[in-house]
Structure 1
Amino acid sequence: MDVDTFWQDFKSRHPEIKTNHHDTYAMGSTDENATILAHLIAAGTKTATTSALDLYTADEPLPFVGEYNVILDGHDQPICVTQTKVVETIPFNQVSAEHAYHEGEDDRTLASWRREHRAFFQAAYRQEGRIFTEDIPCYCEVFVRVD
C-alpha cells in the first residue's frame, strides 16, 4: 500500500484527527535495520528514538510534539502510525538509561545504546566531514503507536 492510501485509511479510522500533516520515514542505516525497527515500533517495544541535532539540515524540520509519523519498513512500506509526545535536546553523554530502554533495541541497556549510537553517529559525522564527540546535542523523541 502506498503512503497516501495508508494515511487516508488511518484518518478514516480516526475521525478525531483533523490534521493532514505527517512525517514519513524509515529508521536505521540499512533496509534490514529499518524493517527490524519498524516492527519493534509496531509491537510497542520501541517508543523512543534519538538523532544528532546538528546533522539536521536547514530544510529538514525537527520532529515536534503532536506530530504524526508514518513509519516505513526497509521496503518503503508503511507499517504503523506514531505520534510524538516528548522532544528534548540532551548531550550524547547524558542520555538516560530510561531513554535507552524505551528505544527498545538490543538488550535495552544504556551501555548497548551508547555503543550502537556512537558507531552510528561516528559514521554519520564522518560522512558529513565532521567529528563526533561525546557531548554532541542529541534530539531525543518519545512517541506512542497510534495505529
Structure 2
Amino acid sequence: MKHLILITFLVLSSCKGETKAEQELAINPSVQEMWERFTTSYPEFKEEEQPESWFFHDNEEDANRLAELVVQGKKQAGSGLYSWYKEAKANLPSVGTKHIITDFDGTARAIIETKKVDTIPFNQISEAYAALDMGTTNEALQKWKKAHWDFFTSTMKESEKQATEDMLVVCEYFETLWP
C-alpha cells in the first residue's frame, strides 16, 4: 500500500529540471507552515532543512485515510518494494529522516521520523508489522497481504515483472512527531 516510495521517486525525478524556487512554489503553503510551527516548538530542529512532503498511496481516498491514521498515531510503518529502490538507484530510507505527510491535495497533516528500516521477504511479513502499517489490529496481516499484493502486482506489470512470494519489501517504521 505504501507505494509512496514509488510516487516519491516519480515526483522527485519529474522535478529535477526545476529550480529550488520553482519546486517550492508547487508545494502547498501548509507544508512550510507546519515545519515552521514544529521548529518554533522544537528549536533544536531549526537548523535542519525542511523535509520532503508526500502522501501515501496513489488515490485520494486512500491517501487521506492513511494521513488521518498517521495523525492519530495508528499508522506507524510504510512498505515499498526493494526493487523500486534498486531500479531508481536510490538509497534505502535512513533512520532519523523526517518527512511531512500530506493529504492527497498536498495539505500538510503530520511530521514523521524514520525509526527503523528492515528488508523482509513478502511471505515473512509479521502480523505485528502489518498492524503498524495498516493502522489496525483487525485481520491486519490478511489485509496487508491483500492490499500490498494487489498494489505490487499492478505496479510491477508496468515494468513487465511479476510479484513473487519472496520479493523483498522495505519496511520503514516511523514515529509521528507532529502534531
TM-score, L = length of structure 2: 0.76
Is it true that 1:142 corresponds to 2:173 in the alignment? yes
Q: Which runs of 5+ in 2 are unaligned?
A: 1-28
Distance in 2, Cα, partners of 1:37 & 1:51: 15
Shift in CA distance, 96/122, structure 1 to aligned 2, threshold 3 Å:
same
Query: Contact 1:100/1:113 (CA < 8 Å) preserved in 2?
Result: yes
- Write the mapping of 1:55-74 to structure 2, written as runs, cut at 5 A: 55-56=84-85, 57-58=87-88, 60-74=90-104
Q: What amino acid is aligned across from residue 69 of structure 2 in structure 1?
A: L
Please report how far the alpha carbon of residue 6 of structure 1 lies from its aligned counterpart in structure 2 after TM superposition: 2.3
Distance in 1, Cα, partners of 2:169 & 2:80: 6
Query: Contact 1:97/1:110 (CA < 8 Å) preserved in 2?
Result: yes
Is it true that 1:6 corresponds to 2:29 in the alignment? no
Distance in 2, Cα, partners of 1:21 & 1:75: 19
Corresponding pairs, count: 147
Q: Which residue number corresponds to residue 101 of structure 1? A: 131
Distance in 2, Cα, partners of 1:59 & 1:50: 18
1:117 alignment partner, one of 141, 148, 163: 148
Superimposed CA distance per residue, residues 87-128 of structure 1 (whole angstroms, 9 cap, x where no aligned partner): 010011111111001111583521111011100110111122
Superimposed CA distance per residue, residues 33-67 of structure 1 (whole angstroms, 9 cap, x where no aligned partner): 10100000000110011111111343644321000
2:162 counterpart SS class: coil
Q: Which residue number corresponds to residue 63 of structure 2? A: 34
1:16 counterpart SS class: helix
Shift in CA distance, 62/21, structure 1 to aligned 2, threshold 3 Å:
farther
Query: Contact 1:21/1:67 (CA < 8 Å) preserved in 2?
Result: no
1:146 counterpart SS class: strand
2:58 counterpart SS class: coil
Q: What amino acid is aligned across from residue 128 of structure 1 in structure 2?
A: S
Query: Contact 1:54/1:137 (CA < 8 Å) preserved in 2?
Result: yes
Query: Contact 1:100/1:108 (CA < 8 Å) preserved in 2?
Result: no
% identity of equivalent residues: 30
Query: Contact 1:26/1:72 (CA < 8 Å) preserved in 2?
Result: yes
Is it true that 1:76 corresponds to 2:76 in the alignment? no
TM-score, L = length of structure 1: 0.91
2:79 alignment partner, one of 40, 50, 57: 50
Q: Which runs of 5+ in 1 are unaligned?
A: none
- Alignment RMSD, CA only? 1.7
Distance in 1, Cα, partners of 2:55 & 2:91: 16
